[in-house]
Each structure stands twice: as C-alpha cells, then as structure tokens.
Amino acid sequence: MKLNEIISILPFYKAMYLADDVIINEIKMDSREVNQGDLFICINGYTVDGHDYVDQAIANGAVAIIAENIIYTNVSTIIVPDSQRALSMIAAHFYNYPTTKFPLIGITGTNGKTTITYLIESLLNEYGRKTGVIGTIQMKIGDHLFPVQNTTPDSLFLQKSFHKMVECNVDTAIMEVSSHALDMGRVYGCDFDIAVFSNLSQDHLDYHKNMDDYLRAKSLLFAQLGNTYKKTHRKFAVINVDDSRHDIIGRSTAQHIITYSCKNNAAITAENIQLDANKTSFRLVTPVGEIMISSKLIGMFNVYNMLAAVGVATALHIPLITIKAALERITGISGRFEPIEGDHSFTTIVDYAHTPDSLENVLQVIKDFAKNNIIVVVGCGGDRDKSKRPQMAAIALNYADKVIFTSDNPRTEDPQAILEDMVHGQKENHYEIIEDRKRAIYHAINLAGDHDVVLIAGKGHETYQVIGHTKFNFDDREIAKEAILAKEN
Ligand SMILES: CC(=O)N[C@H]1[C@@H](OP(=O)(O)OP(=O)(O)OC[C@H]2O[C@@H](n3ccc(=O)[nH]c3=O)[C@H](O)[C@@H]2O)O[C@H](CO)[C@@H](O)[C@@H]1O[C@H](C)C(=O)N[C@@H](C)C(=O)N[C@H](CCC(=O)O)C(=O)O
Ligand SMILES: Nc1ncnc2c1ncn2[C@@H]1O[C@H](COP(=O)(O)OP(=O)(O)OP(=O)(O)O)[C@@H](O)[C@H]1O
Ligand SMILES: N[C@H](CCC[C@H](N)C(=O)O)C(=O)O
Ligand SMILES: [Mg+2]
C-alpha cells in the first residue's frame, strides 16, 4: 500500500518530509523486526521509548516513520498527536478492516475469559463454523496454533492476525479482552459484535488505580459495541447479572443485552444444578427452550462459564441440541482444573487460579469433594498487584490442611520478598516456604497420602517461569508427573 493511502486515514498529521510514491511493505512497531520497505511507528512504552530506535529502524530498511515527537530523518516522516492511536487506525486500514468481515466476539471479566473463549469455540465448531481464537494460551486459526505475548496483543498484531483469519476463511473470531488492552487502546479499530462480561473481582491493582478504575476499563468493551441499530447486523452484550457490577456494564452499551444468572431472573439460567466430583449437570433454560446438560467441567464457576457461552450461542441462533452436544463434548481446558494422570492413590490438579476469587472458587470445589487432606502449592507473580498476595495466602491457609508457598513468576522482584508479602501477618501457620517451585511441587506430592488432593495453583498452561528478565522452561504439569513417578518408584 502507498504511504499516502495509509496516512489518508489520519485526520491530522504533520509531514516533516513526504517522498512521492513510497510503497510500504509492512507496518512495524519494533525496530528489531523492521525489514526493507517497512513503515516504523514509534511508541513511547512503559519500558523504553520507540523514538530512540528510529536510527535502527532506518538502518534495517524503514522507508517511512510515524512519530509523536518532532524528529528529523532522511526518510518520509509523519508526526501525529498520539502514535498509539494512530497505530490502531493505520493497522485496521492497512489490513482492510478485517473485523468487519466476520462476527467478532470479545470476552472480558476478571476470571473465566479463557474458559469461556474455548467453550464458545467448541459451540461454533460443533455448529460447523471455522473459528479464530486469540487469548492467554495462544492464537488459533482453525487448528493452527501461534504464540502470543499478551492475553490481548497490541493493535498491530491483532489486525494482522484478523487479516490472516480472513485469508484462512475463518467465519467467526473469539478473543479475550483484558482490562489493560481496553485501557491502552489495543482494541481500538476492532468491530465487536458480541461482548461478554463474566465477573469482576480483585486483580491488577498495580495497573488500575482502584476497583472503580478497573471496572471503567472493563466497561469500555461495552461502550465500543457500536451505536447503530441495523436489523441485519445486531450487536449483543452478554452479561452475568449475578455480579454486583452488572448494572454499570449494562448501562455502558446501547446494544441488546442477554443476561445470564444462577440466582436471579435472566434470559439464560441453570436450574437443578448438580455438582459432582467428576461431572456437572443442570437444566439449561433459554429464551428458545430448555435442555438437560451434563458436562465434564466441574465446579459452580464452570456453570457460569457455560451460561456465558450459551448467551453467545443464543445471540448467534445456535440450536439447543448443538449447544448440548458441544458442552458435553468438551473435557477440559489446558491448565484449568487439569488433573495430572498417573497411577496413584491421591489426586493432583494443576489450575491457573492466580487471583483471590479464582483460588477461593477452585478450593471450594476441591473442599466439596476431597475425601481427605488438601495440600496447596501456590505463589504470586512479581511486578503485579501486591495486595493480592496476603489475600491469596489467607485463602490457601483457610481451605488447605497444608500449604507450600513458593515462587510463581517472580519477574524482576526478589522471590523472598514476594513470599514475605504473602505470609506476613497470617494467623495460621500450617505452611512451609520452599522458594524453588520444582522442589515445592515434589515436596507436596511426597506429602500426599491416600485420597488427598494436591492443588498446584497459579501457572496452569504456562510452560515457562520468568525470573528476572529470563524465561526458563517450566511446566507444572510435567514437574508434577515427574514427582508422581519418582514417588511411585
Ligand atoms: C505494561 C504493558 O502492558 N506493557 C506492554 C507494552 O510494553 P512496553 O510499553 O513496556 O514496551 P516497551 O518495551 O517500552 O517498548 C516501547 C516500544 O519500543 C519498541 N522497541 C523496543 C525495543 C527496541 O529495541 N526497539 C523498539 O522498537 C517496542 O516494540 C515498542 O513498540 O507493549 C508490549 C507490546 O504490545 C506488551 O507486550 C507489553 O506487555 C507486557 C509484556 C505485559 O506484561 N503486560 C501485562 C501487564 C498485560 O498487558 N497483561 C494483560 C492481561 C492480564 C490478564 O488478563 O490477567 C494482557 O492483555 O496480556
Ligand atoms: N467464572 C469464573 N469465576 C471464578 N473463577 C473462575 C471462573 N472461571 C475460571 N475460574 C478460575 O480462574 C482460573 C483462570 O480461568 P481462565 O483462564 O478461564 O480466566 P481468565 O479470565 O482467562 O484469566 P486471565 O486473566 O489470566 O486471562 C481458572 O483456572 C479457575 O481457577
Ligand atoms: N495475565 C496475568 C497472568 C498471571 C499469571 C501468573 N502466573 C503470574 O505470573 O502472575 C498477568 O499477567 O497478570
Ligand atoms: Mg485468559
């Protein structure tokens, strides 16, 4: 695409220098990825300032620069008031507005986004649709998997991925939308058709000033649902009305609302809920009929996740029989309440609970079914919300018979300081601190006796541990398997 065509989408800009007929190969926001013929856009980030990498970008072959600060270069240089915002506009334009070409479903909320995303994928696949998925675990186009750095990546990665989805004939895209992404404008330019709100509880208070600010960020997804009413292109907000913040989320959108609930009146509800140790059944009640569901996903929180997915299915007119087939087929989601196989007399579960609410939910499920002791291995991430630490520790101590506090992803923080934040002031003392996560997991598994349950919480599907700035290979599931084998032999 020509540079002139790309910048025509910007209402305001100042051209420091604009060469004729510059053809742009690709747009890049990282100087290290620039190739001959690319446009480099300077983003002033949290760690470094992209403006400092203009020379490197030009040396790598950039033929045009978009920047926020006045800079002088020997290639076409455009100055905009806000380069992050310009990036979203330009990326959507460059990739020809891919999200207008298929329905886009966005899921937000503190917990359950990944789970709901994969439930919706399963429903749509059962219905014969080809899906694209973007979220915490990966990006998926059909059965092809691609790594992601963020739950909701930056606008350039997003628009490029959606473009790839269009090329691969994806007919519906499903994505997790984090509060960071909403706040930073990573999803500006995404044309959402359905937005889901799962719940709000404490997380990310390192980034958001307080819970109201966190809620405001979440509500932006609903404010972005478009303001026109076209019969042919209806938009929907699917909202959990059992969450006390549902009203503010609902009032953030002008679009149609589909409510779901296990306790209140709602369009989608679950009746006669039976929670068992290895299955969950309920009568699903929807505006178009009722049907019995028997799912392998366990725990009350998964009933909520299923209702959220059913809300989306209802908006898309997916028949009840298809909904039932899809919900009954799905056996689990990677790293979410994932049992570790092995011939052993106790149960080991790896779960991604890394917030107080999710940890409590998961431990409640375990408590309901555990025949003997509960042993928990848990830590808290570094460079993240510090106020979660004592809360998560207290929850673990409250539900478990024995807790091993350990490292999660310490990132740039001192692991001992994180552990100190967790245990400081705790009244209970049935815990040990083993900073090395591998040793902590081995120890927990060695302690386990007949019919005990070992919960390894916080890292779920992650296949790494971030210590300092380095990512080391680490997978709770692999380590747990090793430890179980070692115990057996
Ligand atoms: C705080 C935050 O969100 N940071 C995000 C941000 O990084 P940053 O601002 O530090 O970027 P930077 O390193 O300062 O770089 C600024 C610019 O210079 C460029 N650069 C940099 C170096 C260089 O040599 N050349 C160069 O051009 C970079 O490409 C970038 O354009 O932009 C990056 C690219 O989009 C993100 O990957 C990064 O997410 C970091 C990894 C992160 O951990 N974010 C977390 C807080 C987050 O966003 N989490 C949410 C979900 C949480 C949840 O659901 O629970 C998420 O959506 O993932
Ligand atoms: N609806 C829910 N309510 C509360 N806790 C939940 C719910 N669904 C899942 N959980 C718990 O939260 C953990 C994370 O679930 P999931 O990965 O689906 O959430 P997420 O919102 O995608 O998280 P992230 O913010 O890290 O992307 C699960 O491992 C489980 O312990
Ligand atoms: N998306 C979340 C994931 C947290 C997972 C946990 N293992 C941690 O590292 O804190 C975050 O970046 O805050
Ligand atoms: Mg997720």
The pLDDT tens digits along the chain (489 residues) read 999 999 999 999 999 999 988 999 999 999 999 999 999 999 999 999 999 999 999 999 999 999 999 999 999 999 999 999 999 999 999 999 999 999 999 999 999 999 999 999 999 999 999 999 999 999 999 899 999 999 999 999 999 999 999 999 999 999 999 999 999 999 999 999 999 999 998 788 878 889 999 999 999 999 999 888 888 889 999 999 999 999 999 999 999 999 999 999 999 999 999 999 889 999 999 999 999 999 999 999 999 999 999 999 999 999 999 999 999 999 999 999 999 987 679 999 999 999 999 999 999 999 999 999 999 999 999 999 999 999 999 999 999 999 999 999 999 999 999 999 999 999 999 999 999 999 999 999 999 999 999 999 999 999 999 999 999 999 999 999 999 999 877
Helix (H) or strand (E) holding 471: strand 470-473
Residues 118, 123: Cα–Cα separation, whole Å: 9
Is 458 in contact with 352 (CB distance < 8 Å)?
Answer: yes
Q: How many CB atoms lie within 10 A of CB 439?
A: 14
Is 99 in contact with 173 (CB distance < 8 Å)?
Answer: yes
Q: Counting every residue, how long is the chain?
A: 489
Ligand 3 centroid–CA 245 distance in Å is 23
Packed helices 300-315 and 113-126: angle between N→C axes, nearest 10 degrees: 50
Q: Are β-strands 280-286 and 268-275 bridged in parallel, bridged antiparallel, or unpaired?
A: antiparallel
Nearest to 461 by CA among 372, 334, 361: 334
Name the residue with the closest Cα to ligand 1, atom 13.
47
Query: Is 410 labelled a binding residue?
Result: yes
Name the residue with the closest Cα to ligand 3, atom 11.
384
Q: What's the DSSP call for residue 366?
A: H
Ligand at shortest distance from the CA of 352: 2
Is 40 in contact with 54 (CB distance < 8 Å)?
Answer: yes
Domains contained in the chain, CATH given? 3-83 (3.40.1390.10), 98-329 (3.40.1190.10), 338-488 (3.90.190.20)
Q: Residues with beta carbon inside 6 Å of ligand 2?
A: 111-115, 136, 151, 176, 198-199, 301, 304-305, 336, 351-353, 357-358, 361-362, 460
Nearest to 354 by CA among 176, 202, 469: 202
Query: Is 384 labelled a binding residue?
Result: yes
pTM of structure: 0.95
Helix (H) or strand (E) holding 313: helix 300-315
Query: Is 113 labelled a binding residue?
Result: yes
